[in-house]
Amino acid sequence: MKLTDRKLPITITARNIEDELYWEEKCVKELKNIKKELHGGSFKQAYVEHHIQSILENFKSMNEASEREVIKELEAAKYDIFCLIITQLKDFNIKTLFRYLPNLSHLTITFGAKHVEMEYER
């Protein structure tokens, strides 16, 4: 595990790596002020939930290919996601979220966009 590249995509690592030290290093390096206690006591769960949350918050529906990429990530991480707090959701189909995350037990969603400023269109 020490030699495993920390830049591998989550589609590979979520299914194959259970080592908490690997996930702790990823959390410390990429996420700030992460508390594993809020994520089932697991650095893996904390990292995966934050990663998926970030993808969903920044999703812009350009085409079907971009949605398929998100679905691949959801499928890879589906058994490690129990709680999502999404602070902005614009173009993502919520049915897809429920279809690919069977362990999701807590979900908070704010529909809309943050920090739009001059790009706002009613």
How many other β-carbons are positioned within 10 Å of the β-carbon of residue 46?
A: 24
Which tokens hold the place of 37? Answer: 């206690």
pLDDT at residue 69 tops 70: yes
More confident residue, 112 or 68: 68
Write the DSSP string, 19-36. Answer: -HHHHHHHHHHH-SS--G
The model carries a pTM of: 0.85
How many other β-carbons are positioned within 10 Å of the β-carbon of residue 58?
A: 9
User: How far is it, in rounded angstroms, from Cα 89 to Cα 38?
Assistant: 22
Domain range summary for the chain, segments of one domain joined by + = 10-113
**pLDDT value, residue 1:** 77
Please list, residue by residue across 88-113, b when 16 or more beta carbons sit within 10 angstroms of its beta carbon and e when fewer do: bbeebeeeebeebbeeeeeeeeeeee
Residue-wise pLDDT tens digits, 72-122: 999 999 999 999 999 888 778 889 889 999 999 999 988 777 777 666 665
